[in-house]
Every structure is written in structure tokens, then in C-alpha cells.
Amino acid sequence: MAKKKKVEKKEIVYAPISYQPITETIEKNYMPYVMSVIVSRAIPEIDGLKPSHRKLLYTMYKMGLLTGPRTKSANIVGQTMKLHPHGDASIYETMVRLTRGNATLLHPLVDSKGSFGKQYSSDMKYAAPRYTECKLDTICQELFSGIDHDAVDMVDNYDATLKEPVLLPTTFPNILVMPNMGIAVGMASNICSFNLAEICDGTIALLRNPKLPVEKMMEIVKAPDFSGGASILYDREEMYRIYTTGQGSVRMRARYTYDKAANCIDILQIPYSTTIELILAKLAALYKEGKIKEITDFRDEIDLNGFKLTLDIRKGVDPDKLMTKLFKLTPLEDSFKCNFNVLIDSTPRTLGLIDILKEWIRFRLTCLCRELAYDLKKKEDKLHLLMAFGSILLDIDKAIRIIRHTEKEENVVPNLMKGFDIDEIQANYIADIKLRNLNHEYLLNRMSEIKDLQQQIEDIKSILADELKQKALIIKQLTEIKKKYGKPRMTQIIDSEGVQVYNEDEHVENYNARFVLTREGYFKKITFQSLRGNDEQKCKDGDEILSIMDGENVDNLIFLTEKAQMYRFKADDFDTCKASALGEYLPVKFDKAGDEKPVLMNIQNSYPEKENFIFIFENGKGVRIPASAYEITGNRRKLTSVFSKSSPIVAAFYEKTPMDIMLTSTDNRAIVIKSSLIPIKSTRTSGGVQLMSLKAGQKLVSATNDPEKIPDSGKGLKKIKIPAAGVNLG
């Protein structure tokens, strides 16, 4: 039997435990990672790009994809890994966001072919890179302008085999045109996009006036602009905060239309910060909870025509009121949190819009000067060579003779240098000229080129010596960019003060009510039960009843004021009161100044085409405007310029059927006409036609359609033609 080998047991020796202070661990191990994420990954620089964007775009530029045909995305991804060795998946995801097909950017940087998903959907996936094709979009010409003329620094890639730019010398403030979001360690960046044309105008204004006030900039660059459209609820104070500090919030709402025939709401644009999946999930949850009983069905109808989310609603449901509720309960209203954190000279800084533009101008001036200096050096070098022609032009035969009588080739250049008193570079240039070019015409053309070069050199030197000329050149470039690439705004701007806000605790009770308006602007909403005890209307001294109407608590009320404004309210917006009370003073409800008095009240739940508004003016003119011209949709509460301001208004009426109207002038003359005599005009601000002939210095003082106030006598007040002369009331 074989003997078993004796196994020796080895004693395990443990290394001594070493202790390291947590502060030292953070400083040596964690801080380098933190700085790498901040500086080299998550925060965009002044050219508007992160390193991943820049490496991808520069790779495509070197592949000739700025002017050449599209190539497979897989090819681009593979080439980009020479500069960005972080895996093909992350590179392709970066490229997807920059494509025209994904619709993330207002001005896409990549011209794409194939399926790239959509920004407004998290479930709509992009195709694999082997199926899609891409090239650089034409706007990238502005990103790479001057990059081959030493406009920016070039550094080694990760293995020192290639060169790549530190920044791209973009000729417009791409940092504010391209939306960017990045989460670093201990800080983040979230930059919204602005309209290119507005940004170009704002930059030009800042170049001309470095002390441009923020208020003036807000008039030029009105608000952010997003590729998804939708609407911004404009809050001036919040926008001022964003423009000055770089931090704030932009409230956005979806845009929709109501299809009356199908009784459905079509949502066509949603806030940039949400997706259709989030909206559908919230709608489903609310439907299960029974909180949106007004909706019978909802579905995603996205097709080749673009985004569409359809809501089928129950008969009799007010679509605008329902949308106000959905804005409150779903992501159909959402906020974009602004945090303008930008790397400036490798240092993260949170800047307002004007400060970012100032930093971009400083960066652009540096790029421009470097580009001009490069061009100057090239032109001076070329001029230096051409100056040799000035020497040989006087004696071409001497140059030929020197070359012919030189025995060794290496002595040709030294002999030319001695013969014409030129340096080695010039002598080499002359020695390399072909014999066929030593003709009179060729030499004269070169001499003419010398003059052009000298002028160009002087022009470049004058620009380099004068910052104002440099700024003028940047202004010229920005003007051309705006003309070439500028587009209308995608995102609508709505005044947030005029938007109705849904209150889920509000339960509107419907009941019959009487609405009373006085000439001084006092309004009463009185229940019929209250009227049983006392229906005598109390008014302030000197005041009188202008209008009395019976309606319901859910009715829409409109008020037209003497300042040509129209305000819309729900009857439920007013508290009930007794007939003995003065009522609510409307001018304060219209505006804070409280100096707008109403001239007309009406229950306006619809705007029929066959019904009209009638306006009578002091100059004796009058006009009828179709009610349909005043239709207010959505949550708007105010309509401006509802009638002509060329003459003060005397009275306004709402015409459902023809009525008698009596006009009275300052000289106690009057006429009575049928409202059907007054022509209908489609333009709201039409001045109308002359109804009553007035003598010099006379004007209308009143107009009424109250049968009790119109005399029923044979004085000839009633007229069948206009204009008509007034009859003395005696």
C-alpha cells in the first residue's frame, strides 16, 4: 500500500489592520471622483455641450459627416469610442437625444433617418444603431466654424493617439438654445432652451449695451421655448428671478382642442418635463378612484402626424372646466425646474441669463481673435513668399542665369539668396516655381495678389486692435444665423394671472338667481328665495340700475367696461346678497386700480353667430359686432380691445332680436331707430357708421333700449334711415 503523504499545516498570518481617518479617505479617494463627474461628465460648458456631446460631434465632423451623406449609426458609435471609451450604449443614447427624429432639441444637431423614439414618450424605444443612419445637421457649421483655424485649444485623447477640442467655437450662444440636464455629485444642472432668434437678438443688444437692464432683456428674450410646444404660464416675478439668478421654476400646461362633433378633447402638446406614460398612469388612477367621472375613455392616438392624447367626455360636460381640473390633478400641468449651473473655466457657476451671455461673449471674442490671428499669420506667410516676386520681377533673366550656372543643386537656394537679397524660405519658393510660370502675365497676377493680401492683413490687424470691430463682426454673424436658422416660437406664452385655477374643495351648487348691475359698477347676485321677502333694489346715492337678468349659479357672466375690456366670470365667483345691499364693487374685481366701470352685463354661455353686440359712441356713431367675434376659449378671463376707442362709449347692448334704441344728444334732441339699421362689422375695433346727425360741439349723452323710457308719441322720433337728425324733446 502506498503511504499517505503527510500534509503540513501552514500558519495563516494576517496583515495588521491599518486605520485611516475618514477625512483622508474622502480627500484621496472620493474627491477625485467628485471632480471628474462635475468637470468631465455632468455639467455643460459655455459652448452648451457636455464632453460626451462634444466627442461625438467632433468624431462625426472628422468623418466628413457635415457635408457628406449619412452613415450607419453603428459606424459613428465605433469611431467615437476612440475619444470616449465608455461603451457603445452610452454613446448611442447621447446621439439619439441630439437627433431630429427624437425631437428633444429646438434645433437638432444630428440629421437622422430611422426610428429614434420621441422625447415625450419613455416607452417608445429607438432602433438599434445598425438600423439607423445619421449625419451632422447644417446648423453644426456654426459649432465648428473656425475649429481648423486654431479657434480653440486641442488636447490629447485618453491614449494620446488623437487630438480633440477642449470646447467647440460655436458662433451663437448654444448654451441657451440647447436644453441640458446633468446630475453631478453635490450639484446639478438643468438648463431650459430658448428661442434661437430671441437669443440672437438678446446677445446683439448686450453686445451693443453691456449694461442692458434685465427688464429690457425680458422684452427681447420673452421666455423659454421648448421643442414640445405646450404653454408657459408666464409669471413675471419668477421669470425675473430666473434671468437674474439662474434658478426658478417655469409652469407649463398642455395645449388642447375640443371636437364638438365627437364630444372629445384632443391634447396635442404636453409639458416638456413630462411624458404621455405618466399622464396615462395618473388618468387611470383617477378613473379608478372615481375622481374624473366626466371622462368615459382616454387613449393614446400618437401617429405619423405627431402627438395626440384623446379624452372622450360625457354629454353636457364643460371641456374647459374639465381641463382646469385635469391641470390640477395630472401632469398635464407641470413645472420645469431651472438651475443654470455652467462650467466657466472648469469651475461650476450658477449664472443668470445675462451673465451666461456675458461669459459667452467673452469666450466668443477669444475664439474670434485666435481665428483672426491664425488667418493673419497665414496671410503674412503667403505675403512673405510673394514678396520674392518683387525681387525677381526686375530681372527674371538673372534668376534663370543663377540657377543655370549653379553646378550643385544644394547651392541653388544660397545663390538665389545672395543674388536677390532674400531669405531661405523665399529662395526655396522661387526655386520651386515651374519654368512655364515665369511669364509676364503670371508675375503681374502675383503682384496684384500682393496688394490684396496687404489690404486683408491691414483689415485683420485693425479688427484685432479694436474690440468694437470684433463685437461688430460677432453681431454680423448672429444676424446671419438668426436669418438662416431662426424659427417662430413653439411654446405659447399665457399670462398666469388670467388663468383659472381649479380648487378640488370647491363644489358648485346650482340654483336660480337674479343678477343686478348698477351704472356705478355694483353687482348683486340674489337668490329667488331672498327676493320673496323684499325685491326693492337699493342703490348708492346718485346710482341707478343698469341691467337686471335672471339666470343660474353655473352661468358665465361677461362684463364690458368703458375701457374696451371684456371680463368673464362664473356666477358662482360672486357671493349672494340681499336686494337691500349695495352689492360687490366690480371695478376692483376687474383690476387693482378699480377705475374701469362696466357698460354692459350679459349671460354668455355661448356665442351664437346670429346674435350681436351693439356699441353707441359719443360722436353719434354706432356699430354691431357678431357675438362670435368675442368667443373666449380655455381659461382666459379677459379680452382686450373689444370695441373702438376713437370716441367714448355711451352705451352697449346685446341683441338677440331687433330692438328699438333711443339716442339723446346734449341739445335735448333724440331719435329712435331699429337696431337692424345699424350695419354689422366683423372687426371688433370698427368705428361704426353715423346714426344721428350732430351739430358742432354736440354729442350723444345717452342711449337706451328700455321701452318704458322711450316716448310713445307722434313727435317723429322714429327714423327709418340713418344718419337722422334729432327731434327736440321739448
Q: What are phi and psi of 689, to 5 degrees?
A: -125, 160
Q: Three-state SS string across 298-316, please?
A: EEECCECCECCEEEEECCC
> What is the enclosing helix (H) or strand (E) of 447?
helix 440-464
Evaluated on CA atoms 289, 269, 308, 182, the torsion sign reads negative
Rounded (10°) CA dihedral 454, 460, 466, 471: 150
Based on C-alpha coordinates, what's the Rg of the chain?
Answer: 39
Residue of 252, 249, 208 lying closest to 228 (CA atoms): 252
Residue 714 pairs in a beta bridge with none
> Is the link from the previous residue into 16 a cis peptide, with omega within 30 of 0?
no
Residue of 122, 72, 120, 119 lying closest to 92 (CA atoms): 72
Q: What are phi and psi of 320, to 5 degrees?
A: -65, -40
Give residue for cell 354689422.
680
The contacts of residue 705 (CB under 8 Å, 6+ apart) are 653, 659, 660, 661, 662, 675
User: In terms of DSSP bridges, do strands 718-719 and 669-674 run parallel, antiparallel, or are they unpaired?
Assistant: parallel
The amino acid that residue 340 corresponds to is F
Q: What's the half-sphere exposure (Cβ side, CA atoms, 13 Å) at 326?
A: 31
> What is the enclosing helix (H) or strand (E) of 379?
helix 353-393
Q: 3-class DSSP state for residue 428?
A: helix
Q: Where are the alpha helices (DSSP H) in 493-592?
A: 528-533, 586-590
Angle at CA 55, nearest 5°, toward 478 and 181?
A: 70
**Cβ pair 367, 151 in contact under 8 A:** yes
Provide DSSP, 487-516: ---SSEEEEGGGS----TT--PPP-EEEEE
**Would you state the cell numbers that stand for residue 666, as one nine-digit string?**
346734449
> What is the enclosing helix (H) or strand (E) of 140?
helix 140-144
Q: Is 131 a catalytic residue?
A: yes
**Would you state the cell numbers that stand for residue 416, as one nine-digit string?**
538665389
> What is the enclosing helix (H) or strand (E) of 75?
helix 73-80
> What is the enclosing helix (H) or strand (E) of 268?
strand 264-269
The contacts of residue 595 (CB under 8 Å, 6+ apart) are 587
Evaluated on CA atoms 554, 283, 338, 302, the torsion sign reads negative
**Cβ pair 403, 431 in contact under 8 A:** yes
Cα–Cα distance, 570 to 572 (Å, whole number):
5
Cα–Cα distance, 708 to 685 (Å, whole number):
31
Q: 3-class DSSP state for residue 5?
A: coil
CA–CA distance from 445 to each of 47, 451, 678 (Å)? Answer: 42, 10, 80
Catalytic one among 19, 92, 126, 131?
131
Cα–Cα distance, 462 to 473 (Å, whole number):
12
Cα–Cα distance, 504 to 117 (Å, whole number):
36
CA–CA distance from 564 to each of 605, 643, 651 (Å)? Answer: 20, 6, 12
Cα–Cα distance, 61 to 65 (Å, whole number):
6
Catalytic residue numbers read: 131
